[in-house]
Amino acid sequence: MNTISDIWRQGERRWPGRTALAAEGERLDYGGLGTRIRQIAVALARRWQLHKGDVVALLAPNCIEFVTTYFACTAMGAIVLPVDERLEPDEARLLMTDSAARFAIVHRSSWPRFAGIRDKLDRLEGIATIDFEVDGIESCRRWIAEVGEAPDADPPAVALASDIAELMYTSGTTGQPKGVMRSHANVLAACGNARRAFGYGPQDRIAIVMPISHSSALVSQTLPVLEVGGTVRLVERFDAASLIELMRSEDITCLRAVPALFRMLLPMRGFDAATLPHLRLLMNSSAAIDPQTCVAIKERFPAAELINSYGLTEASTCSILADHLVRLHPDSIGLPIDGVEMRIADDADDEAGPGQQGEIRVRGPHVFVGYHGRPAESRAAFDRFGWLRTGDLGHRDEHGLFYFHGRRDDVINCGGRKFSPQEVEDCILEINAVAEAAVVGAAHRVLGEVAQAFVVARPGQAIRPKAVIGHCARRLPSHKIPFRVEIVDSLPRNSVGKVLRRTLRNGGETDRDPD
């Protein structure tokens, strides 16, 4: 395969009658998928004279229209800017302004938020809605009807493997999001990594519950499953009970989720092998899975594979921890996927020894081209040997397994002694009454920074801050003990489940002296 279009072209040729996409109330087979993509492409070319390199913002939930529009735009050489519809209006405006988007296609559910910012988008030359008409703005559905059921020609422009296909913004959990430019070749290489890692096949039916506007759901789940002739079931809104029923009724075989979602599913009736006998693969993403959750999942699904994974927007999924290692090393991110190079580098760009903390670095055809409009940062993203600096800290053990310690930006410097918040979080999660924990650095007049913990109790359980501090004091050196513990109802997260540490950080100073 050379471009993303080869995915759907192959599908309509080899499996025209097999279901490709499914959503609430609609199914589309591979033959119909090809027809729909051509209709959209021709319609956009007629209305907007869409050119190669034009940036098209796509604001939509997990729906069939997202996938078909993505394929149509990339087929013509345009660059798709997926915008998470759950972003605040000003956040969405920032992405669309930074990307210099010329056009926007908006779903009904995304319109209320978009309507508040459209007048502030000076560079936007065209707006279309997907399935409804509002304020005099026409719908793509009408344009498609004008094209007809069977377009005479393929999309009018043909993309090349080296052309930019996506402008996917980083989650911005620690700073301003950056536009990650990925070529068709990058995306296809990432799809290949996912296929090898998760063993997707034509028999698979995957439920997409993570936002498809993010790399994991789109490039590591949706596209590679379509590439092998499987079925993608798009889930627009997450509800634990409804998801279990959907998985039962549609014989779902694969589910990828974040630890928080798994913890929501575990107490639910029916989340077990007896109710979901076809579920063969559970994939953990975006954060480390705690041992208690890991054990509980394996007890519910003893025959299914549970795989831990590591990746980032700039490179998609890079490593996996195979099922037979999950119970033994639940805190590991495993081994690099075949086709991916990974290493731990010290500050001099040399290989760090076993057990030595350094920066996780990756290399391969799946790694992005650069950051949009940021040439200096794009150059700085790679070391002198061509390895991507992920900004993630970790180590490699004597068996070759990789471990993730957290973001370099999150490291806490307490009186000159640096440590990762994850070390403290893992310690707090040993307490049975704790469901979730997040640790950030808080300013201190004497020590510079100290650890501040935010803790969520399990349902029906109670936990006191002093108990958390006491537990840490018995297991951690003094500089890693939280100076402050707050019991909260929930942790702030972005739409893929990553904790927003910048929201938690205390901007003030802590006056308490060390123990």
* Predicted confidence (pLDDT) per residue in 166-193, tens digit: 999 986 544 578 999 999 999 999 999 9
3-class secondary-structure state, position 392:
strand
Look over the chain and give the mean of its residue pLDDT values, rounded to a whole number.
Answer: 89
Decide if pLDDT at 455 tops 90.
yes
Q: Which residue has the higher pLDDT, 11 or 85?
A: 11
Query: Token pair of 7, please?
Result: 């995915």
Which runs of consecutive H residues, i.e. helices, occur in 99-237? 111-115, 140-147, 184-198, 215-217, 223-227
pLDDT at residue 251, as a whole number: 97
490: closest CA among 455, 466, 459?
455
In whole angstroms, how far apart are CA 217 and each of 8, 79, 93, 191, 194? Answer: 17, 18, 23, 11, 11
Contact predicate 230/208, CB 8 Å: no
What is d(CA 338, CA 240) in angstroms, rounded to the nearest whole number? 34
Q: What phi and psi, each to the nearest 5 degrees, are found at residue 131?
A: -135, 20
- Provide, rounded to the nearest whole percent, the portion of the chain with pLDDT above 90: 65
Q: What is the pLDDT of residues 265-301, one digit of tens each?
A: 999 999 999 999 999 999 998 777 777 888 899 999 9
pLDDT at 512 over 50: no
How many alpha carbons lie under 13 Å from residue 515 in its C-beta half-sphere?
13
Report the SS3 class of residue 53.
coil
> 191-200: b or e for each residue (b if 16 or more CB lie within 10 Å)?
bbbbbbbbeb
What is the edge-to-edge ordering of all strands in the sheet holding 103-106?
126-129, 103-106, 55-59, 79-83, 164-169, 179-183, 370-371
C-beta of residue 104 within 8 angstroms of C-beta of residue 96: yes
Give the range among 53-62, 164-173, 457-466 with minimum mean pLDDT: 164-173
Where do the DSSP E strands lie in 446-491?
A: 448-457, 484-487
For tokens 């394996």, the residue is: 298
At residue 489, the pLDDT reads 92
Q: Where are the beta strands (DSSP E) in 14-97?
A: 19-23, 26-29, 55-59, 79-83
Q: What are the residues whose beta carbons fall under 8 Å from the beta carbon of 23, sequence distance 6 or more?
A: 62, 63, 64, 233, 234, 236
> Which tokens sit at 130?
């997907």
Orientation angle between helical segments 140-147 and 30-48, nearest 10 degrees:
100
User: For residue 271, what pLDDT is reported?
Assistant: 97
Beta pairing partners, 455? 437, 487
247: pLDDT strictly greater than 90: yes
Tally of CA atoms within 13 A in the half-sphere of 257 that contains its CB = 23
Cα torsion through 358, 359, 360, 362, rounded to 10: -130
CA angle 293, 296, 301 (to 5 degrees): 125
- pLDDT band, residue 497 (cuts 50/70/90): low
Whether residue 151 has pLDDT greater than 90: no
User: Directed axis angle between helix 64-75 and helix 5-14, to 10°?
Assistant: 110
- pLDDT score of 495: 62
pLDDT in tens, 318-365: 999 999 998 888 888 999 999 999 999 998 899 999 999 999 999 999
pTM of the model: 0.85
Backbone angles phi, psi at 41, to 5 degrees: -60, -45
